């Protein structure tokens, strides 16, 4: 933290803990906006302690639609808080948020949904003893739809690549 910063390491830790509840107020109109705004409130209050109009506009902007991956939202929150702290233009902050939440969601889904989750499921499938049939059945029923869609996707990609190479 720099010498002229308002946000401390304790505040960043608090933001990280609050960001874990990002999807607690999920709705179909604004997706994760409620949890996103709630996680940012303490730091925004600290940054805009005397400027009520600035706090109002920052909170309003953080309650707009957002849908990103919960594991990577900390990167976006940290970036936005640093921009708020430097008193960047409101439109620039909104633009960065809108420009990054989609790609971060895609990257997070690719990393965690397509790689980490199946590896943990395979590990969980191999871990239980033979007597725990329910755990084995659950892990197989959870991973089967993924394997089926993964196989179909790979077949589609291979088929498309073959068609392009023939033409």
Q: Give yes or no for residue 160 having a pLDDT over 60.
A: no
Mean pLDDT computed over 11-40: 87
**pLDDT in the model for residue 3:** 57
Tell me how far apart the alpha carbons of residues 135 and 95 are, in angstroms, rounded to a whole number.
46
Beta bridge pairs of residue 66? 31
In tens, the pLDDT along 123-139 reads 666 655 555 555 555 55
Tell me how far apart the alpha carbons of residues 88 and 151 are, in angstroms, rounded to a whole number.
46
Secondary structure (3-state) at 88: coil
Domain boundaries, the chain: 9-107, 128-166
Please answer whether residues 54 and 25 qualify as being in contact, where contact means their C-beta atoms are separated by less than 8 angstroms: no
Q: Give yes or no for residue 79 having a pLDDT over 50.
A: yes
- pTM score: 0.69
């Amino acid at each position: 933290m720099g010498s002229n910063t308002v946000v401390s390491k304790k505040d960043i830790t608090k933001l990280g803990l609050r960001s874990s509840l990002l999807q607690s107020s999920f709705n179909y109109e604004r997706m994760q906006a409620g949890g996103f705004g709630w996680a940012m409130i303490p730091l925004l209050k600290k940054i805009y302690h005397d400027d009520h109009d600035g706090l109002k506009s920052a909170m309003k902007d953080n309650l707009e639609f957002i849908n990103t991956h919960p594991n990577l939202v900390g990167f976006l929150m940290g970036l936005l808080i640093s921009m708020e702290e430097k008193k960047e233009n409101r439109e620039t902050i909104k633009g960065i948020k809108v420009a990054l939440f989609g790609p971060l969601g895609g990257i997070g889904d690719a990393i965690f949904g397509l790689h980490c989750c199946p590896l943990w499921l395979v590990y969980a499938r191999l871990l239980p003893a033979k007597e725990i049939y329910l755990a084995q059945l659950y892990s197989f029923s959870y991973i089967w739809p993924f394997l089926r869609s993964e196989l179909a996707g790979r077949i589609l990609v291979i088929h498309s690549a073959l068609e392009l190479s023939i033409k």
